[in-house]
């Protein structure tokens, strides 16, 4: 039995002016290339949940030649983000047209199971844990149910956990690897379309399992840069310290996403730098408290915005760069937001910055609210869920103001001069870190 797992990757901005601008901005395209070059951890985990006697093949969509005959499989599993879901459906339809059963999974499929079911013999919702092993068992018995609901809790318990099959990546050179240490995030921001939508609560993977996965990834890629596929790694600070101490001896270079609270723990920050963390991505969303009101139910981000500058400084002084993320078009945003973000980025010394437009992904509270308020521009716009295309009517500016303001801000933040300024900022932070290290060594 041969199972093909196919990952969709690569997102294309649909708005022409933005697409044209994007390719000319160095700071803008780099991150896009990095994201597109990451293997699909979800499908590698599905492979890990497959019984060892089943032959599993991992493919990325760029390895599937649309003009060539389809690769021969007994069963095909496809995972996709919202923006590429129509391409995933087209591929699924092609395989099914040739009599090959197709299973669809991933966050979009979990949020819109009915739609996905029209293009699949079976769908997997939630995590693959608790679903995929049953599906394979059924398939070997000669049938498939229409839907398999995966676990939303206890996904890392020994009974359900599947170690990602990094060995399937051996035939392709990857210089970046992903490992997941947690699923979900307690802050539940209105727009979030990440793993919290397929979990019932924050899930933390035991440190020993994470370390084993990292070692498995190191066995197939030479000195890769690690990207943790988490939405908020350091919710549990005690776990965080244990994790950082466990990976320090491995000599890694790595990146993750977390929240601004990390800056409140000096010990954790020191361990972060010592463990080889090069960058933390933090969703700042907006530079001022007022526009963050109502974004998350606990007001976590609103209450901390006033301390963003000190927090960024504290993290970056360790030589760990902060990739500050901003979401444009929040309901409290007026056309003044673009200059406000530009000024904040300049004042903060952020070494990396990511600016996106608020995106109502289907299945999110934001989508439901905008639909209720009659503010969605189209009924179905999945290929425009790129984080750069505007799909709704903003509350306090016109669509044109949002689009043109975003283009202006992109040029301000990702042009040669701005990138050079951030490069200089990083060099200065590293020099500061080196000075601290020398002083600490001298006093030992």
Partner 1 sequence: MERASIDRVVRRIVSQHALEDVSELAPEASLSALAGLDSLSVLEVLAGLEQHYGFRLTDTELATPRTLEQLVDLVERELAPAGEETRCASA
Number of C-beta neighbours around residue 310 at 10 A: 12
Which residue number, 91 or 418, has a Cβ lying nearer to partner 1? 418
CB of 30 to partner 1, least distance (A): 8
- Quick check: 37 binds partner 1 (CB under 8 A)? no
Among 10, 163, 426, 436, binds partner 1 (CB under 8 A): 426
- Quick check: 35 binds partner 1 (CB under 8 A)? no
- Quick check: 36 binds partner 1 (CB under 8 A)? no
- Quick check: 423 binds partner 1 (CB under 8 A)? yes
Backbone angles phi, psi at 104, to 5 degrees: -110, 140
DSSP helix/strand/coil, 238: helix
The span from the CA of 147 to the CA of 258, in Å, is: 33
Q: What does the block give as tokens for 8?
A: 């969709």
Which one of 94-102, 263-271, 367-375, 417-425 is the stretch in contact with partner 1 (CB under 8 A)?
417-425
Which one of 35-43, 294-302, 384-392, 419-427 is the stretch in contact with partner 1 (CB under 8 A)?
419-427
Question: Which residue in this structure is represented by tokens 């790694």?
Answer: 233
Among 16, 98, 114, 222, binds partner 1 (CB under 8 A): 222
The span from the CA of 214 to the CA of 228, in Å, is: 10
Q: Which residues contact 255 (CB under 8 A, 6 or more apart)?
A: 225, 226, 227, 228, 277, 278, 279, 280, 281
Please give the residues from 304 up to 333 whose contact with partner 1 meets the rule CB under 8 A.
319, 321
- Quick check: 440 binds partner 1 (CB under 8 A)? no
Q: Which residues contact 74 (CB under 8 A, 6 or more apart)?
A: 1, 2, 3, 100, 101
- Quick check: 208 binds partner 1 (CB under 8 A)? no
Burial of 191 (0-12, 13-18, 19+ CB in 10 A): buried
Which residue number, 223 or 378, has a Cβ lying nearer to partner 1? 223
Window 233-272: contact mask with partner 1 (x via CB under 8 A)? ------------------x-x-------------------
The span from the CA of 88 to the CA of 79, in Å, is: 8
Q: What does the block give as tokens for 267?
A: 């010990």
Which residue number, 26 or 306, has a Cβ lying nearer to partner 1? 26
Among 172, 201, 380, 424, binds partner 1 (CB under 8 A): 424
Beta bridge partners of 105: 79
Residues that bind partner 1 (CB under 8 A): 222-223, 225, 251, 253, 278-279, 319, 321, 417, 420-421, 423-424, 426-428, 430-431, 434-435
């Amino acid at each position: 039995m041969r199972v093909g797992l196919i990952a969709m990757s690569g997102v294309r901005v649909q708005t022409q002016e933005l697409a044209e601008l994007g390719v000319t901005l160095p700071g803008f395209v780099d991150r896009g290339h990095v994201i597109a070059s990451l293997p699909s951890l979800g499908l590698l985990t599905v492979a890990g949940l497959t019984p060892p006697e089943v032959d599993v093949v991992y493919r990325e969509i760029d390895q599937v030649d649309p003009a060539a005959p389809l690769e021969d499989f007994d069963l095909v599993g496809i995972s996709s983000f919202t923006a590429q879901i129509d391409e995933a459906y087209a591929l699924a339809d092609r395989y099914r047209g040739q009599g090959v059963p197709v299973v669809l999974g991933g966050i979009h499929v979990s949020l819109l199971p009915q739609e996905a079911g029209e293009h699949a013999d079976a769908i997997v919702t939630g995590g693959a844990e608790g679903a995929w092993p049953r599906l394979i068992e059924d398939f070997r018995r000669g049938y498939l149910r229409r839907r398999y609901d995966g676990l939303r809790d206890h996904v890392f318990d020994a009974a359900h956990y599947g170690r990602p099959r990094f060995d399937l990546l051996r035939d392709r050179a990857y210089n970046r690897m992903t490992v997941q240490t947690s699923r979900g995030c307690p802050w539940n921001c209105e727009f979030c379309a990440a793993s919290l939508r397929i979990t019932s609560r924050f899930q933390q993977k035991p440190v020993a399992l994470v370390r084993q996965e990292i070692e498995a990834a190191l066995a197939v890629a030479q000195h890769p840069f690690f990207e943790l596929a988490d939405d908020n790694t350091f919710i549990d600070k005690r776990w965080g310290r244990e994790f950082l101490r466990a990976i320090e001896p491995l000599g890694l270079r790595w990146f993750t996403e977390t929240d601004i609270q990390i800056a409140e723990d000096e010990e954790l920050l020191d361990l972060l730098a010592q463990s080889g963390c090069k960058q933390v991505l933090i969703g700042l969303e907006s530079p001022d408290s007022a526009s963050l009101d109502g974004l998350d139910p606990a007001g976590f981000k609103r209450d901390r915005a006033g301390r963003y500058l000190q927090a960024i400084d504290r993290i970056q002084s360790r030589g760990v760069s902060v990739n500050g993320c901003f979401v444009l078009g929040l309901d409290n945003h007026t056309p003044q937001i673009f200059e406000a973000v530009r000024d904040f980025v300049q004042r903060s010394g952020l070494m990396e910055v990511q600016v996106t437009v608020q995106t109502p992904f289907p299945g999110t509270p934001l989508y439901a609210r905008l639909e209720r308020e009659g503010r969605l521009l189209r009924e179905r716009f999945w290929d425009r869920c790129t984080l750069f295309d505007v799909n709704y009517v903003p509350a306090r500016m016109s669509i044109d103001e949002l689009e043109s303001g975003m283009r202006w801000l992109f040029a301000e933040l990702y042009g040669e001069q701005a990138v050079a300024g951030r490069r200089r900022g990083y060099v200065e932070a590293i020099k500061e870190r080196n000075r601290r290290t020398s002083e600490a060594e001298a006093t030992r």
